Amino acid sequence: MLKEWLEDGAIGDVKEVYGWTDRPVGGNPWSDFAVKARSKDTPPVPESLNWDLWLGPVAHRPYHPDYHPRKWRAWVDFGTGALGDMGCHILDPAFWALDLGAPESVQATSTHWQEEVSSETFPRASIVRFKFPARGKRPPVKLTWSDGRLLPPVPEVFEPGRKFPPSGALLIGEKGTIMHESHGASGLRIVPEVQMKEYATRLPKEKYPRVGKGVRHEHDWLRACKGGVPCCSPFEYGAALTEMALLGMVAIRGKNQLLKWD
């Protein structure tokens, strides 16, 4: 739907995008692992888990629930932090709708890596700035990612009382602003609401296929594996989206260095 709105000129040319998540804080199950050293106790491996297989290429370490289930996201050896966890869910709509492709540069700042505690877990909060070149008649785009409850500047078009969702994105256009939440641009709205209500009277017709009501992204993938309709995010597309997120993680580890990507 976002792509259809942008192609319809709902907010004009987009030159700036913001994406954010409250992770790794915000009360999710791996919040406390943004600053953490390895635990020294060695609880037994669950009977249902092949620990050596789970470790894969990582040097052996004793099993601990600090890593699995779920909490591996926080650890450098296993995960890719908040950007790797949520970036593809949140930035996918803009990445696809604007046909962003590869960035030409990326730079990041973050809270300290807490070397006095551990450099094995990702920072508690970070800001990553991507620059994308012009694509045909479309102008260059600046995309700013933030996590750890760091939020974008409040747009002037926000009405009193409007709040940012815990995770979401803003697209700043020449004629308006769009905000949505995570996972498929849920809660997609033009802000302010008065502009949304006016646009709702002339919405464009559906042009692109939908995955189907109630179909989650993992179900969509399994359906394609079983010979059903092609998934909405095939490897040909998902690889480029993942590349962008991983470049952001490289920039976070680069500690404020400007990285150019060719």
**pLDDT tens track for 186-235:** 899 999 999 999 999 999 999 988 877 778 888 889 999 999 788 888 89
Note whether 190 and 28 are within 8 A (CB): no
Q: How many domains does the chain have?
A: 1
In a domain, 73, yes or no: no
Per the structure, the complete domain to which residue 100 belongs is given by 2-26+83-260
The CATH number that applies at residue 226 is 3.30.360.10
In a domain, 40, yes or no: no
Residues paired with 143 in a beta bridge: 17, 130
Whether the predicted pLDDT of 236 surpasses 60: yes
Give 93's pLDDT tier (boundaries 50, 70, 90): very high
Instruction: Give the integer Cα–Cα distance in Å for 29 and 16.
Output: 32
* Percent of the chain at pLDDT exceeding 70: 94
pLDDT score recorded for residue 35? 59
Give 128's pLDDT tier (boundaries 50, 70, 90): very high
* Percent of the chain at pLDDT exceeding 90: 71
In a domain, 221, yes or no: yes
pLDDT score recorded for residue 8? 96
Q: What is the pLDDT of residues 144-167, one digit of tens each?
A: 999 999 999 999 999 999 999 999
The three-state secondary structure class of 129 is strand
Which tokens sit at 26? 């915000």
**C-alpha of 12 from chain center:** 24
Instruction: Give the integer Cα–Cα distance in Å for 202 and 197.
Output: 10
Instruction: Give the integer Cα–Cα distance in Å for 190 and 176.
Output: 7
119 vs 113 pLDDT, higher one: 119
In a domain, 77, yes or no: no
Q: What is the pLDDT of residues 3-53, one digit of tens each?
A: 999 999 999 999 999 999 998 876 666 666 555 678 889 999 999 999 999
In a domain, 69, yes or no: no
In a domain, 75, yes or no: no
pLDDT score recorded for residue 210? 81
In a domain, 95, yes or no: yes
Smallest CA-to-CA distance from 199 within 171, 172, 177, 169 is with: 177
User: What's the chain's average pLDDT?
Assistant: 91
In a domain, 51, yes or no: no
Smallest CA-to-CA distance from 15 within 79, 81, 94 is with: 94
Whether omega before 103 lies within 30 degrees of 0, making that bond cis, reads no
